[in-house]
Amino acid sequence: MRLDVFSIFPEYLAPLDLSLIGRAREKRLLDLTVHDLREWTHDRHRTVDDTPYGGGAGMVMKPEPWGEALDTVLSATPDVPVAEVSPSGESVAGASSAGEPVAEVPAAEDSAAAVRARPVLIVPSPAGEVFTQTTARELASRDHLVFACGRYEGIDQRVIDWASQRMEVRPMSIGDYVLNGGEVAVLAMVEAIARLLPGVIGNPGSLDEESHEDGLLEYPVYTKPATWRGLDVPSILLSGDHGKVARWRRDQRLRRTAATRPDLLAVLPAGSLDARDSEVLREATTGAQEEEQREAGSSRVEASGSGLAE
């Protein structure tokens, strides 16, 4: 996978040289380049920002450096029409160079290969679609991702509109809080995407039972010693009964999800829960409701809403 990151603070992306991502780069699984946007300025002060039309606070990133930076990415992308790409990446003409007819390539495979190869421009923005594990999986299936890190009040909207006519553009938010720029969001997204690529993680089995891969939070984990500061590891984990351990862990995942992320339970795919799961959840949610009712008696204020409306 090829990744290009554009930023006026390229040193902010230094952690991408470390650990998992750094090793994936060494193994050539990832071809990652961090670019300084100021390379595409032409004035003495290497200006990337200007005042907003219409007035208001702060500065806006000028379109010209972004346009020239993205031109370099697009000029390096072979502009192959979708219908003329074969699964092997060769262009398909009506006949081979020797003159004999070339077999038709199925249209579905044509577009699958061409879609993979078309670059995706990811623009971190608090106004973007929320980045989830599903987004990470979608993006991990592509060959070329480009990240445009904004600063100040953001990037002139025409850059996004112009790019949308030439590549797939995904404005993305990593959550409902305010950052000073896109760099930290890119660190999070690149790590979430890269670890899904074949060969990047040593033990791919560890991907299956993770939070957010199947819609439930993780079970609690323990290691030696069996007693620490008077606290014991749950005895079932020392029992050697793999069936009981698996059921206990599943129960823990269900209870944790019900307690801290009930929104995740509401969107579980149909058929995710067996009878025992439903029983555990019924107990977990009745308990929570009784507790809520008890609390409502002493502090009514807490029941008033999400916190966002206030």
Q: Contact between 182 and ligand JF8 (CB under 6 A)?
A: yes
Q: How many residues bind ligand JF8 (CB under 6 A)?
A: 17
Q: How far is the CB of 173 from ligand JF8 (least distance, A)?
A: 4
Q: Which is nearer to ligand JF8, 110 or 183 (CB)?
A: 183
Q: Contact between 124 and ligand JF8 (CB under 6 A)?
A: yes
Q: Contact between 179 and ligand JF8 (CB under 6 A)?
A: yes
Tokens of 172: 């993305």
Q: What are the strands, taking DSSP E only, across the chain?
A: 2-7, 31-36, 49-50, 60-61, 120-130, 144-148, 168-173, 227-228, 231-232
Residue at 228: amino acid letter: W
Q: How far is the CB of 179 from ligand JF8 (least distance, A)?
A: 4
Q: Contact between 181 and ligand JF8 (CB under 6 A)?
A: yes
Backbone angles phi, psi at 75, to 5 degrees: -70, -20
Burial of 303 (0-12, 13-18, 19+ CB in 10 A): exposed
CA-CA distance, 10 to 30, in Å (whole number)? 18
- Please calculate the CA angle 242-247-252 and round it to the nearest 5 degrees: 125
Of positions 7, 125, 252, 257, contacts ligand JF8 by CB under 6 A? 125
Residue 266: strand, helix, or coil: helix
Of positions 174, 237, 254, 281, contacts ligand JF8 by CB under 6 A? 174
Q: Taking contact as CB under 6 A, which single stretch among the options 27-35, 85-93, 174-182, 203-211 is the one that binds ligand JF8?
A: 174-182
Q: Contact between 215 and ligand JF8 (CB under 6 A)?
A: no
Which residues of this chain interact with ligand JF8, rule CB under 6 A?
124-126, 150-151, 154, 172-175, 177-182, 185
